[in-house]
Structure 1
Amino acid sequence: MSHPTADRARQLLDLHTQPEILVLPNVWDVVSAQVVAATPGVHALATASHSIASTFGYPDGERIPLDLHLDMVRRIVQAVSLPVSMDMESGYGHPGDTARRAIEIGVVGGNLEDGMRPLGEAVAAVQAVMDAGRAAGVDFVLNARTDAALRADPQAPRSSVIEEVITRGRAFLDAGAPVVFVPGLVARDEIQEVSDAFGPRKLTLISVPGASLPARELQALGVSRLSTGPFTQRVALTALQDAAAEIVAGGTLPAGTRPLN
């Protein structure tokens, strides 16, 4: 008999290779996970570390204690039946062990930032996560992240920035990562160049409000996956603040508000 976690991992991996782009509106707590999971067309969930940290009053960047972070992710996994990918940030100093602990609570994929560490160190971190998956008997879907575009010097030639993105991404793919996440990549020609360099359905991106191409256009460029990072929480908080401002100013709450909890 197959193990449920292994089955969900294979399901998540398969979703990355379908002709249709995998769209993951990121979640941060149980109710956001339940609402997104119940949305037609959603086939998997991904957590956002920034959003989970904010929920507990911590800034982003591994400032939230790992135990607390994992506890929230565990609650999300237990509340839904879909595969869940965890934003593991940079691995909290021990990427392999962090991945092992995530797998133990039912997580079947994860993001891992390179933070522009020396390439050898970043590749070793990818290998450690993939090793943890193999040791658990799970095809862990590592979304290996490079910050080469996000942290690039604005004065640097874009050709050299894209070259670094491709070098790092290919190294992560060679180390076993199924897909590579490149935040900071929004221009159509650059997306096409990186997608072609990685191969079909190997590039994943984040949707940035007011800047990113629509999901259907990214699909045509060969992008495997589109996530939303902290932006979905900001969408929710924007609606909250707008509603609060309206009623405080003497108005009413929005008439179309749905009982989603």
Structure 2
Amino acid sequence: MVDASNIVKARTFRALHEQPLLVLPNAWDAASASLIARAGAAAVATTSGGMAWSLGVPDGEALTRQQMMAAVHRICAAVDVPVTADIEGGYGSTPEDVAATVRATIEAGAVGINIEDSHARHGTLRPPGEQARRLQAARHAAADVGLPQLMINARTDVYLLNAIAPARRFDEVMIRASAYAEAGADCLFVPGLSDLATLSALTAASPLPVNAMAGPTGPTIGELATAGVRRVSVGTALAQAAYGLVEQATRELLESGTYGALDEAVAYADLNAMSFGEDQRYGFLPETEPLRVCVERPD
């Protein structure tokens, strides 16, 4: 069953959603999660893309469930604030697979999940009814292990993919919002939608609070709040910025021999003083398990 401290975190995380707006920066390892918490975040979200890249594979369920849960475990052990985990599409084709993933996610220490309705390997949307059954399985699995408070952020990729004509996307999102709410989801995440007028219409009509993805080319946090958005995350943006700095600093070192890009570096002593929790070298992932890379064969 669930540790009592995680039940407290789950209740805390759920209460944070009662605020006008919850901002969730996305971490990809223990150090980034610790820095996000140190900067004042009330909770931490994970990014599947950043976690995959840090392990040398592409985003899109190229990691196994066990590999992803080991990474989630390390992040949860590193911070005292609630963590919500990006579990991509749920790591399996059946609702039972989703249930197993949710149980593993809770065991890893997370108190929320983000689960998407597209097939990572094919770039297609699951039918609303099929995804609703997967969400129901997630809700039942959380209750079965003693964490009915698990926050389920139902991501729909209607706007992110080109599978549906633009004129039909809003109506399709509304169909899915209703189905996902009935299945037990707590939030609706619509990455790819940044138009403020459309977001305003969606937040007014959706049966679920809306999570929007923020980024450097999109609306500000304040503008999203005015549009009625209740939860904001940044996906892979922080990881991309960190890796961008690595490349920029390296080019500067090699080309000019200077160190200007390193001016904002976190102090060595500060990073070294962070407590990343116990068993951080291994989590519950055996050293010998190889990474799995999923490559789609051309038809």
Q: What is aligned with 2:142?
A: 133
Match of 2:102 among 80, 99, 104: 99
1:160-184 Cα offsets, whole Å, 9 max, x none, are 1110011101211121111010011
Q: Which runs of 4+ in 1 moved over 3 A?
A: none
Q: What is aligned with 1:84?
A: 83
Task: Determine helix, strand or coil for the equivalent of 2:27.
Answer: coil
How many angstroms apart in 1 are the aligned matches of 2:10 and 2:72?
A: 16
CA positional deviation for 1:153: 4.7
Task: Determine helix, strand or coil for the equivalent of 2:53.
Answer: helix
Q: What is aligned with 1:38?
A: 38
Matched, 1:113 2:98: no
Amino acid in structure 2 at the alignment position of 1:145: R
CA positional deviation for 1:206: 1.0
Correspondence list, 1:1-261, <5 A: 3-19=4-20, 21-40=21-40, 42-93=41-92, 94-115=97-118, 116-138=125-147, 139-153=149-163, 156-158=165-167, 160-199=168-207, 202-210=209-217, 212-254=218-260, 255-259=263-267, 260-261=270-271
8 A Cα contact 2:37 2:81, kept in partner:
yes
Identity of aligned residues (%): 35
8 A Cα contact 2:98 2:138, kept in partner:
yes
1:159-217 Cα offsets, whole Å, 9 max, x none, are x1110011101211121111010011110111011111115x7000111321x110111
Q: Gaps spanning 5+ residues in structure 2: where?
A: 119-124, 272-299
1:92-117 Cα offsets, whole Å, 9 max, x none, are 01111100111112110011111121
Amino acid in structure 2 at the alignment position of 1:250: S
8 A Cα contact 2:197 2:227, kept in partner:
no
Change in Cα spacing, 1:153 to 1:67, as seen in structure 2 (3 Å) is closer
Say how many residue pairs are matched.
254
How many angstroms apart in 2 are the aligned matches of 1:237 and 1:15?
A: 30
Task: Determine helix, strand or coil for the equivalent of 2:26.
Answer: coil
Q: Gaps spanning 5+ residues in structure 1: where?
A: none
How many angstroms apart in 1 are the aligned matches of 2:23 and 2:253?
A: 34
State TM-score, norm by structure 2: 0.81
8 A Cα contact 1:50 1:59, kept in partner:
yes
CA positional deviation for 1:251: 3.5
Task: Determine helix, strand or coil for the equivalent of 1:162.
Answer: helix
Amino acid in structure 2 at the alignment position of 1:22: L
How many angstroms apart in 1 are the aligned matches of 2:226 and 2:4?
A: 35
Task: Determine helix, strand or coil for the equivalent of 1:85.
Answer: strand
How many angstroms apart in 2 are the aligned matches of 1:102 and 1:54?
A: 20
Task: Determine helix, strand or coil for the equivalent of 1:144.
Answer: strand
8 A Cα contact 2:193 2:212, kept in partner:
yes
Task: Determine helix, strand or coil for the equivalent of 1:137.
Answer: coil
How many angstroms apart in 1 are the aligned matches of 2:31 and 2:91?
A: 26
